[in-house]
Chains A and B, each alone.
Chain A
Amino acid sequence: MEDTIEILAANNLTTADAGRTSSATRVADIMSNNLVTLSAHHTFGQAVQLMTNSPFRHFLVIHADGRLAGVFSDRDVLRALGRTPNWQAKNVSGVMTHKVFTVTPETPLSVAASEMLSRRINCLPVIGKDGKVCGIITSTDLLRSYQKIQASLENNSCGTSTVSV
């Protein structure tokens, strides 16, 4: 059993957008608490399998105490594949990104979006007050929120140029 990949659904599939409107302004408003995590000792092959069989492109690698160890992304896989000859022999910790930029639930969405763009990344782990991982915000989460704002702007745009949020 100990080598099977654990898929931990931290809060049982409650993506945080249930009932939200376009007034989302902070990370907490749109982040997912539905996390798929890996351990640093999983093999490269296991991680690639997991990635192929799930819709996610980013996996948080978490220490036993709930603190973040790193992020394992599809980008890391490609990089390993392109540059390391013995990539089959690697484990997750040998391939993942160790130095990860994180946000808190209170971070404004505009800041999260600009950090993602300037750092050329697509996911930001969300760290709670206790220092443990409490969620993840991806570029897809941001685009979903963009979609909602666009819809409300369309509704508001008839005859007026002001935007109420």
Chain B
Amino acid sequence: MTGALSHLRVCDLSGQLAGAGATKILAAFGAQVIRVEDPVSRGLWDALRGVGPYVDERRGVDLGAGFNNHNAGKYGVTINLRTDEGKQLLRELVAVSDVVCENFAAGVMENRGFGYEDLQRIKSDIVYVSNCGFGHSGPYRDFKTWGPIVQAVSGLTYTSGLPDTEPAGWGFSYMDHGSAFYMTVAIMAALHHRERTGEGQHVDLATVPAGMAMLPTEILDWTVNRHMTQPSGNRADFDEYAPHGIYPCAGADRWIAIACRDDREVALLAKVLDEPTLTADRFATLPQRLASVTELDAVVGAATASRDAPTLAADLVATGVPASVVKSPAERIDGDADLTRMGLFPSVTHPDIGKVRVEGIPMTFSATPWHLDAGAPKLGQHNDEILGKLLGHDAQSLADWAERGVI
């Protein structure tokens, strides 16, 4: 099938979710994404190759389900860049690629002889996107990060939690996703520029600033009003709404999110909860509700505690009050008709893992739908196809290189 990006080839030295998440989107739309991995460390620079979850008791670098999820639809080759022959192979691959991308620490590519100027000499219009925590410039350029560190130093972690105690933070590497979003945008924008001008370029993406870009209002409230954002549990940012929170429901660890955007919705909430206290004069206006917000939240929480979460959410939404169960993985993945309709979780086939579901792309394209059916590449799975057929090397050379640890 011809995809939106079937005309593109990506030489992908990136990994983990922060890089692989971007090139997965490109692969889903038809780009030929070729992951270049190190045969010496068995590809474990991308730690996800070697960690679970696994589908069964088998373990190994070709069996990590997280790696499979993030790399579905890509090709994989092994090249040992410590060797001159390996470096030459990478040069040949760059020469037939539109994009080179990576998320090593700053300086790694230059030290290997593949900085932007080197890449440009190999292919003059190459689009090179680097992606690391602090970027390739600035005083912290040598610092290393992973998702939770990015979230910490960008301000995101601080905003999630109760006041005056330890931050709860984000319970996953949110900014690995954020990094992948911006990396995808960078690649596509640079490609459009190349399309118009014939010129490639280096885009230096820094993930910590990307985290700050996710907090524009909070930052403007500081630069304009000198107001410092503080964690406030689940209350609305900037006192926009009240009640606004996550309240207990019947059952173990069951919760409902409710947001009343105006006085009318508070009245509707009172009716659905059968809790007339919410319509008392002291809760009549937003300033009044904010002044007594602890009491207000306690009233709402006491009324929701005995309710069935899905039923209450449905009743509230039906009356026009924003509400949702805090959905478990089962509820959000397997219980959403819209996601089933759009095929958000396709099954892919991996040579060793077998048939397994992965995350798809949350967009539906009318003319060029995305498509994922192959699992992630095994380590060096496509050496013959890419290094042999695409780059024109014969079987004897490949065998020789494999024996000598070049690939």
| A and B: interacting chains | no
Interface residues of A (CB under 8 A from B): none
